[in-house]
Amino acid sequence: MMTYDSLGSEQPRYYHLCSDGALTPHFLLGEEDFRMAFNLVGACAANCEINLLAFSLEDTHLHALSFGTKTACLQFSAMFGESWAHHVGRTRGTRKKADIELDVIPVDSEDHLMGVGTYVIVQPTKDGKQVMPYDYRWGTGSMYFRGSGHRSIWTVDVAGGRLPTVRAGDLSRHQTKELLGTRRPVPDEWQLCGGLLLPDNYIDVARFESIYRTANCFRVFLSSNRSRDQAIQERIAAARGVALEDVEARMHCHEFMNDMYGFKDVRRLDAHQRIVLAQHLVRKLHLSRRQTASLVMLPFSEVCKYV
């Protein structure tokens, strides 16, 4: 059995990745956005050294369970955020309010892990969508503990007929970029169906199922448990840090800068010094990365990458 407390940040472990819907109320505005975000999850997974075990997309936020190093998970977050901002700029004419940050929250116990796995996939149902997790098109709840003859929900039509698939390697670079929203490659053998990059290509179903061991245990954890959910939500809140009033946060930033570099003008800092200052602000004050990016005058995606 894996131990949790002894694992360092650069050893592979489980992480709960999630965004804050309150900060991105206009994340997904319609079918095109859902399809693009769905495909971007897979494209980013293909280009980061992480295993994705589960994810779900909703109108305002994203949840996922991953296995990998913290650095790899932060890379996934930054890559998804950068690609998403590009899509928003292209389709909406502005990147304003396009930033999306995935909190990277370490899983610290077996019970936490089992709770997060089901928490991720039941979010659409618990948030009021009239659909069960195993029928939700924009999440992976349909993939676990299914019989050998089960067909992926993304490869059948409404009548149950099988839809054709295509290899990524058989598409042109332009077609791939239009579908996936990124120039980053995916393996040639990966399959697409109806313009969607199939999660069957990259979701680690076997590792997910091994967490619960039996279908019955999985069923039990799928059931709502208020105390378990509350514990997960408390970990999310702790990971997101605090948001001080801008005047107070700037005052602390200037104090730290003066102690570290002997002056208070952030514009005099080079990129490396700004990253060090950002790390100091997050570590000492537990500021959110979004507020920290503004204080140190760095792109939000860079703060997510290095802090």
pLDDT per residue as tens digits for the range 71-129:
999 999 999 999 999 999 999 888 776 788 888 999 999 999 999 999 999 999 988 88
Give long-range contacts, CB 8 A cutoff, 24+ apart: 129-137.
Answer: 129/58, 133/56, 133/222, 136/56
Range 260-284 average pLDDT:
90
C-alpha torsion sign, points 98, 104, 110, 111? negative
Q: Report whether pLDDT(7) > 50.
A: no
Q: For 266-287, what is the mean pLDDT?
A: 88
- Are 10 and 69 spatial neighbours (Cβ–Cβ below 8 Å)? yes
| CA within 13 Å, CB half, 205 | 13
Q: What is the pLDDT of residue 52?
A: 98
Question: Region 289-299: what's the mean pLDDT?
Answer: 85
- Predicted local confidence at residue 289, as pLDDT: 75
Q: What is the pTM of this model?
A: 0.79
Place 307 in a pLDDT band, splitting at 50, 70 and 90: confident
Which sign, positive or negative, has the C-alpha torsion 98, 58, 36, 66?
A: positive
For residue 75, the model assigns a pLDDT of 92
pLDDT recorded at residue 260: 92
Average pLDDT, the chain: 89
Q: How confident is the model at residue 224 (pLDDT cuts 50, 70, 90)?
A: low
Distance CA 108, CA 199 (A): 26
Dihedral angle computed from the Cα positions of residues 294, 99, 186 and 138, in that order, rounded to the nearest 10 degrees: 150
For residues 76 and 65, what is the distance between their CA atoms, to the nearest angstrom?
12
Residue 43 CA, distance from chain mean position: 12
